[in-house]
Amino acid sequence: MGTLRGTPLPVELARSELRTFRPQDAARVYAHPRPELSRLVDRGVLHRVAHGYYIVVPQDQVGRPWLPGLEAVAAGIASTIYGADRAVLMGISAARVLGAIPRALATAVVAVPRAHRPIELSDRRATVRFVQRDTDALDAERVDTALGSALVTTPEQTVLDLARRPLLGNAEPEIAAAITALYGRSDPDRLAELAEPQRLVAALRRAEIWAGVRS
């Protein structure tokens, strides 16, 4: 079991996808993971973000107050459960990562292949919500976050998702402006291509009204 220079954290954990892992993931390096992880939290090497979920603190932040962004945290948690290629930030979380919602939110939304109960974070008043979808069918791209590269729906997919379920994630006041901003960055032909097979034509029409291109 190797460790990174300057930290007691095993390399196997330090290289976790999106820097996030669970105690069961640490069982391959620790016979009794939970006490070891608690010790590393006390030393500031790990950040406990929710019950049963830990994030590796960047080495230049060890010993300092550090709070990873909600959307990156949501991607990390979902990736530990389903794998990094099967967890896609969507809706308000995609809009936030894409810069269409400026203010911090208290709910993150992740598309995943199987249902999962919401997870309440322990380091802030925030919730990660999971939406069961065919993640392979979503139009998504990789975007860098503070924890690493995460899958995020494209502006076009995000426009359709926001218009379809504007109440998802408790950010209703932000939706119209987010759709307008993202529609301006979207390819209209691509929007139409995505809407038809996903049965989101009605959502596209609503988005066009919100964006002011249809009355």
Query: In which band, very low, low, confident or very high, does the pLDDT at 31 lie, cut at 50, 70 and 90?
Result: confident
**pLDDT at residue 214 in the model:** 80
Q: Give residue-wise pLDDT tens across range 162-183.
A: 999 999 999 999 999 999 999 9
**pLDDT at residue 88 in the model:** 98
**pLDDT at residue 5 in the model:** 45
Fill in the DSSP letter of residue 67: -
Which residues, 6+ apart, have CB-to-CB distance to 36 below 8 Å?
26, 30
Mean pLDDT of 64-78: 96
